[in-house]
Amino acid sequence: MKKVNGYIISDSGSISVIIDGDSHTVAVDHVNCDSIVIALKNNDVNKLLKLMDLATAIKKASDGKVSVSNGSVWYDGKEVINALTDRILRFIDEELPFEPMVEFLDNLMKNPSRTAIKELYLFLESNKMPITEDGYLLAYRRVDNNYNSFHPNPDGTHNSNKIGDVVSMERNEVDDVRDHLCSEGLHFCSLYYIPKYYGGSGRVMIVKINPADVVSIPSDYGNAKGRTCRYEVIAEHTNPEQKYEEYSESAVVTADGSEIDMSKSDWRDEDGYECCEICGDALLGGEIDICDMCQSEHDLEEQELREEQELLAQEERDLREEAKQSFGSKIKEAFTKRTGKTGKYAVRDSKGRFTKKD
């Protein structure tokens, strides 16, 4: 059994540790630096080795396609930015199968639009949506009670959205301008946006989308909706008591959207290892108290609350203005009744008497 012969933590935070005579150095910017310190204190050598050798584990699991260098994740020599990096590291830390993420990256890099790739990162960062085994994204779409799209096609027909239907359109007909908030394309959204989708009417369907087919993520509602040129309908949200609950709590689902029964990491609930206060998942490097996914959801809820408060404030201002105008009309009516003159003379002088308007 391996044992720690000794270790030292420098003033800068870097760690030097000797295990069975082999020396290891952990930089302060290592994604698991905090967890490594805890593992050292708990003398958990197996966990310590796993946390320190994360880069090797990622490279091996991805057949060399994904690597970790200088605190960044790279795919075929191209750096993967924050949102997807966090998901990759979360997959490794929670001992989830890594292949779906490799498939997802393969599909994503086939997207012909660099802009669409960057925007899809924003959608992933803001919304906790499952990824299928074959590297597709699951999202939501609202349709009418007959399973038809609300918005008609140019020829007046409506797309059928029954389970098993595949809906597509020419990619160049989908609006790729992010700041065009409501425009041409096949729409999908996250759980957050569903109650706002056509006023909450109709049915909620689960759609499967190839990241290569995503065209744009509109900039409103915290990147909670998108436009694509193709999707497949795989399920319906039918439980009325959980109408807006997550379709799946799993980070990975099967190709047809079914949940995968897999155990979580056996260390995420151990005493001493920090977990997210909301979802209970293990925190990654740089996360404090709450994981990035839950923080994003919290920020979206706060944004929605601010918008509702502003709407209420505007309604109150409108009511005050309406009351003011109503009071003025009553004064004019009283003046006309008293003097027989038209309401346009109905103003008061400095002593409160009715007088002619200048």
Coil, strand, or helix at residue 330?
helix
Q: What are the beta bridge partners of residue 66?
A: 75
- What percent of the chain is modeled with pLDDT above 90? 19
- Report the pLDDT value the prediction gives residue 295, as an integer from 0 to 100: 72
* CA distance linking residue 6 with residue 18, whole number of Å: 5
- For tokens 């900039």, name the residue: 219
For residues 297-302, average pLDDT: 74
Within the chain, how many helices (H) and strands (E) appear?
A: 7, 17
Please check the confidence at residue 342 and state whether its pLDDT lies above 60. no
Please check the confidence at residue 247 and state whether its pLDDT lies above 90. no
Alpha carbon separation from 230 to 120, 137, 212 (Å, rounded)? 15, 12, 10
Question: Higher-confidence residue: 138 or 95?
Answer: 138
Q: Which are the contacts of 258, defined by CB distance < 8 A and separation ≥ 6?
A: none
Residue 4 burial (CB count, 10 A): 16
DSSP state letter for 157? -
Q: Mind listing the pLDDT tens digit for each residue in 257-271?
A: 565 544 433 323 333
Picking from 137, 71, 61, the residue whose alpha carbon sits closest to that of residue 102 is 61
For residues 2-21, average pLDDT: 84
Burial of 250 from C-beta contacts in 10 A (0-12 / 13-18 / 19+): middle
Coil, strand, or helix at residue 204?
strand
Structure tokens at 313: 């404030």
Burial of 106 from C-beta contacts in 10 A (0-12 / 13-18 / 19+): middle
β-pairing, 72-75 vs 78-80, is antiparallel
- Would you place residue 172 in the very low, low, confident or very high pLDDT band (cuts 50, 70, 90)? very high
